[in-house]
Amino acid sequence: MTKKKNHILSKSIVHIIFIAASLICILPLILVIGVSFTDENSLMMSGYHFIPKVFSLDAYKYVFTGATSVIRAYAVTIFVTAAGTFLHLLFMSMLAYALTREEVTARNKISLFVYIPVLFSGGLVPYYMLMTRYLHLKNTIWVLILVQLVSATNVLIMKNFFRNIPQSLIESARIDGSGEFRTFFSIVLPLSTPSLASIGLFVAIAYWNDWMTCSLYIETPKLHTLQYLLQSLMNNIGYLQANAGASHSMEQAILTLPSEGARMATCVLAIGPIIFLYPFLQKYFAKGLTIGAVKE
């Protein structure tokens, strides 16, 4: 009897903790959505509310018609995320696969070449010089994709996964007359879908959330990504206010920045699509997390 009671007690404590944790995650999100649908005047006079006191779609109207073209930014971000994730998976898995094949005699040296950047990085200035002066990628959409094309960590994970694929399978494919590419695309890759899906999800999120690359290399507003717009919306006001002493025009400049509601609306739009990727790929998630960690 007491055992059962204890059980219920501990269970409910655990539940309360997790409910609290989920609320901490979800409430701010709901608040942001609430604010984005609130009329600007009521926002200034009575502050934030979960349920808008005066409902208004003005913020969204502003976001879709204003100078910061959210729709274009959407297109850029979706293209970069889709193309980037596909190319990343392709190149990363081809590299990882080659590094597991014994036929590649230089595989240890190449591996070293892959792993060195994990430990050492050149720093921001050389990185910037490489991109702008040698690769001439400044202000092109490709810079948003190429910069993150291969991740050494992901190569490591994939390599461990490919090792688990029985050698005999690849050998028998060869005996049956399959070339290296065919073996890779028709036999190895289909066996790797769970790991590809979970790495793909991480990569997609990284591409979706990347604003740093855009802020460094992109100069035409046409190529701005969604997260970059969001980032600058959030930071501009503070920067301008802190330096308002420099010019009287600065105060007016602050007035032209998007209102609170518009900033929240951009927020909602920026998290929108990527949130739907989670439930869609969740079934691969748990499997994916143990990839490379457990050897059978």
Partner 1 sequence: MNKKRAMALLLTGVLTAGMTGGTCLEVKAEDKPVELSFYMMNSPVNDQERIMEKANEIIEEKIGAHLNLIMVDGSSYAEKMNLMINSGDAWDLCFTASWGGLNFYENAQKGAYADLTELLPKLAPETYSRVPEGLWDGVTVDDKIYASVNYQQWGAASRSGFKFRKDLADETGFDWASLKGKPTLEILNATGDFIGKALEAHPEMIGWETSANYSLFANSPLHWDMEEVGDVATPGWIRYDDPGTVINQFDTEEFMEFCKIMRDWYDKGYVRKDGATVKDTSPDRKAAKFIAEQTTGWPDSIDFEGNADAEKMSMCTADIAPAVAVSNTRTVIKAGAGANAAVAVSSQSPNIEKAVELIELLNTDDELYMLITQGEEGTDYVYGEDGTSTLVDGKYNFNFNEWQLGQSYSPEFTRARYDNNESGEKQKESQSIVFAADKEADVSPLSGFVFDPSPVKTQIANCSSVITEMVPALSSGSIDPEKSVPEFIKRLEGAGVNDIIAEKQAQLDAWSAES
Say how far apart CA 193 and CA 97 lie, in whole Å. Answer: 14
Angle, vertex CA 76, rays to CA 73 and CA 81, nearest 5 = 120
Helix (H/G/I), strand (E/B), else coil: 59: helix
Task: State in angstroms the smallest separation of the CB of 150 from partner 1.
Answer: 23
Binding residues (CB under 8 A) for partner 1: these are: 43-45, 65-69, 124-126, 128-129, 132-133, 138, 215-216, 219, 221, 224, 231-232, 235-257, 260
Task: State in angstroms the smallest separation of the CB of 228 from partner 1.
Answer: 8
Task: State in angstroms the smallest separation of the CB of 253 from partner 1.
Answer: 5
Task: State in angstroms the smallest separation of the CB of 143 from partner 1.
Answer: 13
Task: State in angstroms the smallest separation of the CB of 30 from partner 1.
Answer: 20
Instruction: Please say which residue, 177 or 238, places its beta carbon nearer to partner 1.
Output: 238
Instruction: Please say which residue, 67 or 294, places its beta carbon nearer to partner 1.
Output: 67
Task: State in angstroms the smallest separation of the CB of 49 from partner 1.
Answer: 14
Instruction: Please say which residue, 101 or 138, places its beta carbon nearer to partner 1.
Output: 138
DSSP-H helix ranges across the chain: 2-36, 40-46, 58-65, 70-100, 107-119, 124-129, 141-146, 152-163, 167-175, 180-182, 189-191, 193-209, 212-217, 226-242, 249-255, 260-289
Instruction: Please say which residue, 56 or 69, places its beta carbon nearer to partner 1.
Output: 69
Say how far apart CA 84 and CA 141 lie, in whole Å. Answer: 11
Instruction: Please say which residue, 140 or 164, places its beta carbon nearer to partner 1.
Output: 140
Helix (H/G/I), strand (E/B), else coil: 55: strand
Say how far apart CA 224 and CA 139 lie, in whole Å. Answer: 10
Say how far apart CA 36 and CA 31 lie, in whole Å. Answer: 8
Instruction: Please say which residue, 150 or 237, places its beta carbon nearer to partner 1.
Output: 237
Report the DSSP beta bridge partners of residue 55: 38
